[in-house]
Amino acid sequence: MTNLIIIKVSKHINRFIRKCIDYKINLFEVSYIDKDNILVKIKLEDYTKVKRLNYYSNIKIVKYEGTKGIKRHFKKYIYIYLIVIFCFILMDISTNFIVKVDIIHENSNIRKLVKENLIENGIDKISLAKDFDQLNIIKNNILKNNPNTLEWLSITRRGMTYVVRIEERIITEITKDEGYAHLVATKDALITKIISSRGSVLVRSGDYVKKGSVLISGEIKLYEEVKGNVFAKGEVYGDVWYTTDISYPMQKEEKEYTGKKRFNLSLNNKILFRNKFKYFEQTNLKKLNILGFNISFYNEEEYVLKTIDYSKEKAEELALKKIEEEFLIKLNGKGKVISQKVLKKEENNSTMLLRVFVITNQLISKYEYYDIGSDEVDPENSN
């Protein structure tokens, strides 16, 4: 790159130009400020010569161009650039670090259990934020490792905080009908359906009940007098209200297969042919063990990663679909999502953040044993 400079020349303008022409010094973009002053662009290497030939004129460098100009510019404004870079680094840290993990559940033992699982999976205070797919994998791992304790779990990022919401698993199935039991509500709900095969039904469709309320009693009464006790059986369904948060990326990478493939094999995990494709999947994998040698035969199918940009509407639609899928898993065939309403939405770092009001219709009853003459259920035998 040719280094040029812009100079200001005062006094004896015509003589200055004539001297430069005589000595074959190139002048670029000559512009007159007035009759006694001009701006002219010359090569940096000619500057000393110009000054020597035109000692009778006042010559001053106004601006450097080319690599020299760039270097001088950065040297002059180096501190400003350092401050800007430092600010960007701080912004990056603030948007990619988590300083708080807020676990929401009424049971301290459940909160402790989930906290330990989160730490094992790399989610803790003062840690790097995970992306959407990583959070899904962590959530599924925690649920998989605690099948008898956790029913549902969500991890939502709010700025530099993770908000973790949990639903404790309540096992409603009882394998034996020995003793006496009520059916009680597991949630605050609006009753929509009652199925009873044994016991006294204490509620009707349209009633609002609180968690722990007896729905079908094992006590058989006549004129308020208990005439007998049974193991109440049945199912009660109701509408339940939830508020949930979700963050959904507005960009997503998807695999697009090119159709190119080739055969490869490995011997004791050493690949025979070097990788031909940047991205590929192993298909039709076949393994053999011969005299202690592990041999694998497979095809390598090439794919490229394609970035898909979602509109706000599409991201919201996919986020609501994701919420519905998670609730259906949670309900385990004993209910459905009947309504979703977005209460709040915002964009942050190419992510759609939603707070959603969800109404489900689901099984809300569970069995609780009790002893005759006692108003308290037996926690040792209740599910």
Whether residues 104 and 51 fall in one domain: no
- Surface-to-core class of residue 65, CB atoms within 10 Å of its CB (0-12 exposed, 13-18 middle, 19+ buried): middle
Domain C-terminal end among 292, 308, 324: 308
Out of 130, 153, 168, a domain closes at 168
Is 199 within the bounds of a domain?
no
| Amino acid 187: pLDDT | 93
CB 123 within 8 A of CB 154: no
Could you identify the residue written with the tokens 């009633």? Answer: 207
Residue 356 within any structural domain of the chain: no
Residue 223 within a domain: no
Same domain, 10 and 71: yes
Query: Domain check: are 20 and 58 in the same one?
Result: yes
Paired tokens of 273: 């042919």
The residues, any chain, with a CB within 8 Å of residue 29's CB and separated by 6 or more, are 39, 40, 41
What's the half-sphere exposure (Cβ side, CA atoms, 13 Å) at 333? 0
Does 150 map to a domain?
Answer: yes
- Among 76, 105, 124, residue at a domain's last position: 76
The rounded distance, in Å, linking the Cα atoms of 243 and 358 is 6
- Global pTM reads 0.53
pLDDT at position 155 is 87
Per-residue confidence (pLDDT) for residue 292, from 0 to 100:
65
Give the model's pLDDT for residue 94: 62
Q: Range of 13's domain?
A: 4-76
The CATH number of the domain where 55 resides is what? 3.30.70
pLDDT value, residue 172: 53
Q: Classify residue 23: in a domain, yes or no.
A: yes
Domain co-membership, 68 together with 105: no
* 247 within some domain: no
For residue 124, the domain's CATH number is 3.10.20.310
Q: Strand 293-309 and strand 280-290: pairing?
A: antiparallel
**Residue 369: inside a domain:** no
Say whether both 15 and 50 belong to one domain.
yes
Is there a single domain that holds both residue 120 and residue 70? no
Same domain as 105, residue 154: yes
- Please count the structural domains in the chain: 3
Q: Are residues 121 and 62 in the same domain?
A: no
In this structure, the answer to whether residues 100 and 158 fall within a common structural domain is yes
CA distance 167 to 111: 11
* Same domain assignment for residues 107 and 61: no
Residue 350 neighbours by CB distance under 10 Å: 11
Note down pLDDT in tens along the chain; length 383 residues: 568 888 888 988 888 888 888 888 888 888 888 888 989 988 888 888 888 888 888 888 888 887 766 676 677 667 777 787 777 666 666 667 788 888 888 888 888 888 888 888 888 887 778 888 888 889 888 988 888 888 888 888 887 888 888 888 766 555 456 789 999 999 999 999 999 999 999 999 999 999 999 999 988 888 888 888 999 999 999 999 999 999 888 888 888 888 888 888 787 777 777 777 888 888 877 777 766 677 787 888 888 888 888 888 999 999 999 999 989 888 888 899 999 999 998 887 788 899 999 999 999 999 999 888 655 544 444 44
Residue 225 burial class via C-beta count within 10 angstroms: exposed 0-12, middle 13-18, buried 19 and up: exposed
pLDDT of residue 382: 47
Q: Is residue 373 part of a domain?
A: no
CA nearest neighbour of 180 among 225, 228, 235, 237 = 228
**Do 123 and 67 fall within a single domain?**
no
Q: Which helix (H) or strand (E) holds 142?
A: helix 132-145
DSSP, collapsed to helix, strand or coil, labels residue 204 as coil
Looking at the structure, tell me whether residues 150 and 100 fall in a common domain: yes
